[in-house]
Amino acid sequence: MMEFTFEDSLWEQTLPTLKDSIDAEKFLALLEDEDESFLEEAFAQLCARKIRLDIAKLPKGSATGEAAVRLRTEAQLVKSGKLLQDLEDSDPLKLYLLEIAGIPAAGDLKCLAEELKENKDDAALQQRILKLCLSRVVELACAHTGSGVLLLDLIQEGSMGLWQNLSRYDGGDFEDFRDWHICQSMAYIITLQARDQGVGQKMRQALEDYRSVDEKLLAELGRNPTRAEIAQQLHMSEAQTELVESMLKTARDMHRAKAEQEPKEEEPEDNQAVEDTAYFQARQRIQELLSGLDERAAKLLTLRFGLEGGLPKSPEETGRILGLTSEEVVQAEAAALAKLRQEK
């Protein structure tokens, strides 16, 4: 059986072959050896080509400690429909949800979307549309509970993903456009969380295991083994085995013939903050109070809320920068926010 290697260019070779979606596990396996900036570029390529990042087969989050407790609590409250009622009054998520609920409706979404087609760079118009969509962001974030990512992080990513793409709306069903970009951004942060848990590395190992078992059964049976037979040897479901099989096929195809790479389109990234949304107003107020915190706590909140102009970082990303676990970040964030509320 032919040997194959995972070359640095495998992602670029695979990208033109993708159609409507790519499994997140496959995405991670293809990019296992790349840094986070390369992953961001790969994700941007998916979005530009309208290729959905499918997280359906990702294993559920395996957080521990306070982060795990918080994730379970959020999932239970969403399931019971008592998220607002049962969160503590000082909880950052509850404070944000209350601010969202207090935003007055300001225009008809369909009419504003039609206006956006002709005025793509109108920041004020984009902000009005984003305000009207915030409740939908929350709704879709709640649908992703159990994914291993905190609700507030999902909401942040969904809001930012939609806002960054409003200038690309060129007609059609705006609600479909809205939901696609919100869910795509949430899928990306969930995929990054899975990467931190080693999903890509496990998939790469599964590829090698599949190849070994395939060779072994071929020699023993004198014929090509079925997917069910390989799955039994690997102790995997047939669905998981099918995913591994498809990745192997992609790798083999790349060795038989190099697919012509489509020219990359460099799209400008608009990093202007949306200061008129409820979340970013809350972020500004937090920034004004940071002087009352010690340097480490202030740095943690700055990273988590993106107060220096960058995007908000997840607990895992913040932990890597500060040398903390994600659970320690969640705990320290809660303590810092509690101190800020006392000083207000």
Across 118-132, 192-206, 235-249, which has the greatest mean pLDDT?
A: 118-132
Secondary structure letter of residue 278 according to DSSP? H
- Whether pLDDT at 143 is above 80: yes
Find the mean pLDDT for residues 248-268. Answer: 50
Q: What is the pLDDT of residues 199-230, one digit of tens each?
A: 545 556 666 777 777 778 777 776 778 888 88
Higher pLDDT, 70 or 272: 70
- Whether pLDDT at 340 is above 90: no
Find the mean pLDDT for residues 57-83. Answer: 81
Note the pTM of the prediction, 2 decimals.
0.60
Model confidence at 3, in pLDDT bands (50, 70, 90)?
A: very low
Contact predicate 213/234, CB 8 Å: yes
Q: What is the pLDDT of residues 104-115, one digit of tens each?
A: 766 788 899 999
Q: What pLDDT, on a 0 to 100 scale, did the predictor assign at position 158?
A: 93
- Whether pLDDT at 277 is above 60: no
Contact predicate 7/250, CB 8 Å: no
Across 50-64, 161-175, 243-257, 280-294, least confident range:
243-257
Separation of alpha carbons 190 and 134, rounded Å:
19
- Whether pLDDT at 181 is above 90: yes
Q: What is the pLDDT of residues 306-332, one digit of tens each?
A: 666 556 677 888 888 888 888 888 888
Alpha helices in the chain (DSSP H): 10-14, 24-30, 36-48, 65-80, 83-86, 92-101, 109-118, 123-143, 151-165, 174-196, 199-221, 227-234, 238-256, 278-289, 295-305, 315-322, 326-343
Q: What pLDDT, on a 0 to 100 scale, did the predictor assign at position 337?
A: 77
- Whether pLDDT at 173 is above 90: yes
- Whether pLDDT at 231 is above 60: yes
Separation of alpha carbons 199 and 203, rounded Å:
6
φ and ψ of 25, to 5 deg: -65, -40
Task: List CB contacts of 303: < 8 A, sequence separation 6 or more.
Answer: 313, 317, 318, 321, 322
